Amino acid sequence: MAAKLGDFIEFRKNHIEKTMKKLDDKKRCEDDYLVEKYIDIVDTLEELTDDQKADVNELFQSDMNRQIFLKTKNPNV
């Protein structure tokens, strides 16, 4: 009985560690798409007008738009 309890405790410990790692990985990925990061990038783009920058900042409310912006390779798009 004690051995089974020990096995169960070890199983739960491993499960919790794996879950925590997945959560940490997800958090790290989400940090890559922080709005502040994108606003800082847009602010450095001198060719954009203030109105265009305001429009872009609204677009960055969507996580998908932030990901697209970061992954776009063509600077003219």
More confident residue, 46 or 31: 46
CA–CA separation, 53 and 47 (whole Å) = 10
CA–CA separation, 66 and 7 (whole Å) = 45
Q: Give me the residue label for tokens 């169960």.
A: 8
Instruction: Check if the beta carbon of residue 57 is closer than 8 Å to that of residue 42.
Output: yes
CA neighbor of 30 nearest in space, from 66, 74, 1: 66
User: Would you kindly state where each structural domain of the chain is located, as residue ranges?
Assistant: 1-31, 34-77
Q: Can you give the pTM of this predicted structure?
A: 0.45
Residue percentage of the chain with pLDDT more than 90: 1
Neighbours of 51 (CB within 10 A): 8
